[in-house]
Amino acid sequence: MIAATRKFVCIRIDSYGSEENQKIVRSYLGGRFENTAFCILAPDGKERLTRSGRGPGQIFGRRGNLSSELDKISEEYRVKKTKTPAEMPNFGTFRMALNIASGDQRVLVLQAGESKEASKNLSAAAWSSAMIGRFHYDLEKDAALWSKVIEGEKSTKGIIIINPDPFGQKGSVMAQLPLDASLQEIAKAMSEANATFAKTTAKKTYSEHVQAGRRAGVYFEMPVEFGEDRDGDGVIDHRPGKGRRGEGRRK
């Protein structure tokens, strides 16, 4: 998933989404694998401008002013105007999009069906100052990949604004527009849905959420095994007497 600020683009890798993704994370942690890694890169996406570690606190210090440090770095890389429009944010699968939207407590905007115009409008909405960072997005051409877990859809094609359930297993439609809806119509529907979501959704407490997931028997199967390889031997570490990491909880 990719999100942007005025001067920075944040690339969030789905750590357990594939072995390829884990290799990327390992490359920033000296061959180890832990479920988070942090590094600031140059605009080419390759040159490392900072050391890498688990999070910004390891790079800038826990008492450091992250905002001021980012400002210093950004001064070296002035924003350039480009005629190339930003792409619509998109997860690899709808299942992952719904699950992460639930975990991040974000409304999910689904483009169901292929439409260059819809993708253009959704991209414009996603990167606008009013919407940026407030939603997750997914593009799916095959309704079979999402329609069975979403309640309230009127059509299997369109722009569908979804409220994920607490564990990201299902969702309900908050609003639905046709693929040829205007940018103004899309922005209005998204703004109204987000306002409703904010008023009606209680903030999750991590420990309570994990316990509720375990009681409900929720387990989100991923393409690669849950867990961390902190010693860098290439094998996920297992503590004695413990089951699979992530079992009974949303990941």
- % of the chain residues with pLDDT over 90: 55
Q: Identify whether the C-beta of residue 14 lies closer than 8 Å to the C-beta of residue 1.
A: yes
Determine the average pLDDT of the residues in 35-57: 90
Burial (0-12, 13-18, 19+ Cβ within 10 Å), 143: middle
Determine the average pLDDT of the residues in 18-24: 90
CA atoms within 13 A on the CB side of 217: 0
Sign (positive/negative) of CA torsion 42, 46, 51, 56?
positive
Report residue 250's pLDDT band, with 50, 70 and 90 as the boundaries: very low
Mean pLDDT is highest, among 39-43, 48-52, 95-99, 188-192, for 188-192
Residues 104 and 102: their CA atoms lie apart, in Å, by 5
Phi, psi for 138 (deg, rounded to 5): -150, 145
Mean pLDDT of the residues in the chain: 87
pLDDT of residue 247: 41
Ordered alpha helix ranges (H), the chain: 19-27, 56-60, 66-74, 94-104, 116-126, 183-200, 206-216
Residues in the chain: 251
DSSP letters along 39-77, please? Answer: --B-TTS-SBSS--BSSHHHHH-TTS-HHHHHHHHHTTS
Give me 109's structure tokens: 């905007």
| Pairing between β-strand 171-177 and β-strand 150-151 as defined by DSSP bridges | parallel
Domains recognised in the chain with CATH numbers: 2-74 (no CATH), 94-200 (3.40.30.10)
Task: Name the residue with higher pLDDT: 117 or 153.
Answer: 117
Task: Name the residue with higher pLDDT: 62 or 250.
Answer: 62
Determine the average pLDDT of the residues in 140-167: 94
pLDDT of residue 242: 46
Give me 238's structure tokens: 């297992």
Strand (E) or helix (H) holding 11: strand 9-11
